Amino acid sequence: MSIPLEARVLIADDHALVRQGLARVLEAAPDLDVVAEASDGLEALDRAIGTRIDLAILDVSMPKLTGMQVAVELRKRSPETRVLMLSMYDSEQFLFEALRAGASGYVLKAEADDNIIDACRTVLRGESYLYPSVVTALVRDHVERGADAFDVLTPRELQVVKLIAEARSSKEIAAELVISVKTVERHRQNILEKLGMRDRVELTRYAIRRGLIQA
């Protein structure tokens, strides 16, 4: 077959216990060999381009660089490396963002122990892996609203979300980004509308789920 007998795997998560858990689960698969670990996004990127890595398992929420950011960089600098995104949150929104960032799979931490090996093998074969419960969500979503949604935030809007979630005022954000307060408010308004949220508190929780900031 075309799959190497021993796929070289990188595990990146800021919690040692999660890395241990992953390593333990992957031990059961003789075709998956964990050859590197990383506890933040920068480290993950370094290891993945320094070593030859077939599969990078990335946590969405990591210090320094988020899993999404690492995936984007990896696609540029090491396109042959497959990416499997690991997330705490069951959200179609995040799933699509991960796939767009270059990930081939998306697995929930709560369900990871059951299906992670399947996911790894599927992704290594060059296919996409969606965790089982997302399929239901997808179908529901495409039926309810005509597959129109999934408007993701623009890079500029993501910057603003991050600053809002760090408890900066509009005035401070304007100074930071060197734009007017009015524009910051304009961005915030657009963001709230896109995500269907009411205020900065909801945005803060969104930013944490999305790995933009740590709680």
Partner DNA sequence: CCGAAGATGGGGTGTCGACCCCATAGGCGC
Partner DNA sequence: GCGCCTATGGGGTCGACACCCCATCTTCGG
Binding site for a second copy (CB under 8 A): 14-25, 39, 88-89, 109-114, 164-167, 197-202, 204-205, 208-209, 213, 215
Q: For the segment 168-187, give every residue that binds DNA (CB under 7 A).
A: 169-171, 177, 179-183, 185-187
What separation, in Å, do the N-terminal and C-terminal C-alpha atoms of the chain show? 44
Interaction pattern, residues 185-214, with DNA; x per rule: CB under 7 A = xxxxx--xx----xxx--------------
**49 vs 63 by CB, closer to a second copy:** 63
Distance CA(193)–CA(191), nearest Å, equals: 5
Stretch near DNA under the rule CB under 7 A, chosen from 26-34, 91-99, 113-121, 147-155: 147-155
DSSP character string of 120-169: HHHHHTT--EE-HHHHHHHHHHHHHS-S----PPPHHHHHHHHHHHTT--
Secondary structure of residue 96 in the 3-state scheme? helix
**Of positions 64, 156, 162, 209, contacts DNA by CB under 7 A:** 156
**200 vs 209 by CB, closer to DNA:** 200
Q: How far is the CB of 75 from DNA (least distance, A)?
A: 16
When asked if residue 24 is in the footprint of DNA (CB under 7 A), the reply is no
Longest dimension (CA), the chain: 59
When asked if residue 51 is in the footprint of DNA (CB under 7 A), the reply is no
List Cα–Cα distances, 51 to 78, 117, 134, in angstroms: 10, 22, 32
Whether the CB-CB separation of 36 and 62 falls below 8 Å is answered with no
Binding residues for DNA, rule: CB under 7 A, are 151, 154-157, 169-171, 177, 179-183, 185-189, 192-193, 198-200
